[in-house]
Amino acid sequence: MGVAPKKKLALDTNVLFDLANESDFTHTFREVHQERGYSLEVPPTVIQELSHLALETHCNESALALKALQKIRSWGLLPFDLIPTGHALAEQFSKKLIDKGFLPEGEFNDGLILAETALVSIPILATSDKHLLHIDNAVLRVQLEDSDLSAVSVVHPKTLLGALAPY
């Protein structure tokens, strides 16, 4: 008998910032989900955003971004990458969300993170990003299906943790 696939959640950049900022709630979220057998995975665009910010000399978030990058493994988070064509598909999907008005112009990376999560069939993206949380999940599902991508629900970490209560 084979090993059952792990339950998976993808984490947006802001969740890693909260972990680096020593947010008790976010560490509880991480620990509870890991104890329940969830694999917490980090999309490539999140790694790119953190790397870019860590190298910015005039950025208030540089220290947090660097700390997040340094702690990813010790927190038990799993970065993933895509095959090269996956990156092109993610770009097309993000442009589509912006063109249709589901994301503002400056939120291209949000669309990439959504598509990357869908391309590796992770069903939930944990985020506190208002731009992503304001996309209706039914509308998002239609847009993902129309692009031949797996369904992804965008959910705030507090909602996800509440779903497992009592923990």
Q: Between 3.10.180.10, 3.30.70.260, 3.40.50.1010, 3.40.50.1970, what CATH number should domain 7-162 receive?
A: 3.40.50.1010
Write down the domain spans for the chain: 7-162
Question: What's the rounded Cα separation, in Å, for the pair 133 and 74?
Answer: 28
Print pLDDT tens along the chain (167 aa).
455 558 999 999 999 999 999 999 999 999 999 999 999 999 999 999 999 999 987 888 999 999 999 999 999 999 999 998 999 999 999 999 999 999 999 999 999 999 999 999 999 999 999 999 999 999 999 999 999 999 999 999 999 999 998 87
Strand intervals (E) in the chain: 7-11, 38-42, 78-79, 124-126, 153-155
Question: What's the rounded Cα separation, in Å, for the pair 51 and 90?
Answer: 19
- Crossing angle for the helix pair 13-20 and 24-35, to the nearest 10 degrees: 110
What is the reported pTM? 0.94
In 3D space, the residue among 163, 113, 103, 88 whose CA is nearest the CA of residue 139 turns out to be: 103
User: In angstroms, what is the C-alpha Rg of the chain?
Assistant: 16
